[in-house]
Structure 1
């Protein structure tokens, strides 16, 4: 998931976190893990837009 700008990414995250908001993944209600993945992808996109890829690239190094 990529965004045109940081504002769009933040808006997506705010909408995703609104009480009562539901999302579907492959036609099925999203799980907590699905929501976490959507948040993570939005954060990665914001890092890319801000030139801060090192924040998540460092995290990936520690996962090995």
Structure 2
């Protein structure tokens, strides 16, 4: 996922994790696992922007 700014990443995380969010991909509802992957990708993008890639290197 190509996050260009911290604000963009945080806004996306907020939208993804809203209780009333209905997230789809190509019109198909995303599974919990899909949403977890998307959230993880955004977090990794934020880590890169902030220069703290070592967070995900611990995995």
Common fold by TM > 0.5: yes
Q: What is the CA RMSD across the aligned residues, in angstroms?
A: 1.0
Give the Cα–Cα distance (whole angstroms) in 1 for the partners of residues 8 and 39 of structure 2.
13
The 3-state SS of whatever aligns with 1:19 is coil
Structure 2 unaligned blocks of 5 or more = none
When normalised by structure 1's length, the TM-score is 0.83
Aligned residue pair count: 59
- 1:50 — aligned with what? 50
Give the alignment of 1:8-47 within 5 angstroms.
8-47=8-47
CA offset at residue 25 of structure 1? 2.5
Give the Cα–Cα distance (whole angstroms) in 2 for the partners of residues 15 and 27 of structure 1.
17
When normalised by structure 2's length, the TM-score is 0.89
Higher relative contact order (CA 8 A, sep 6+): 2
**Runs of 4+ with >2 A deviation:** none
